[in-house]
Amino acid sequence: MRYLLIISLFIIATSAYAQDGWVKIAEAKGGMYCFYQPTKTTVENSIVHTWIKTYLTQETRKKYNILPLHTDAAHAHDYSYLIEEINFDCRNVTHKVEEAILYNANGTVAKSRSIGDFAARYNTIVPDSILVLISNKLCKDVK
């Protein structure tokens, strides 16, 4: 019964994101769900610029323990979702994170990093990662 309630709450929560302009773009095994905002996505030459919201389930947080912002493993369970500003180079199958913001379950910012904290260059998209699914969808008509 408790499991059913959690799933129902998650479905309601993910529906709310779509109403706020967030549209589901990818889902990974183990409970990682990614959304993007089509109205805030731009294309210039072969570069797709967008914002990705990654919603993390408790199972995912436990499995990976440390999130993309290199957070303290002891507090990884406190984080609920991550929003990243990302550029995808569709021609070269690479990506670059411009900004990343990690939020607590109550919606407050837990950590934030900007371009200066990341490598200023494009990075290869790791095979079999959720970024492959996202890149494939965003780059479908761009080359």
pLDDT at 56: 72
pLDDT at 18: 52
pLDDT at 50: 96
> What Rg value do the Cα atoms of the chain yield, rounded?
15
pLDDT at 11: 43
pLDDT at 129: 87
Model pTM greater than 0.85? no
Which pairs with CB-CB distance under 8 Å and at least 24 residues apart come from 76-80?
Answer: 78/104, 78/105, 78/110, 79/103, 79/104, 79/105, 79/110, 80/55, 80/56, 80/104, 80/105, 80/107
- Ranges under pLDDT 70 in the chain: 1-19, 58-79, 116-119, 143
What ranges do the domains of the chain cover? 2-138
In the CATH hierarchy, which fold is given to the domain comprising 2-138?
Lipocalin (2.40.128)
Name the residue among 61, 93, 54, 96 with its Cα closest to residue 78.
61
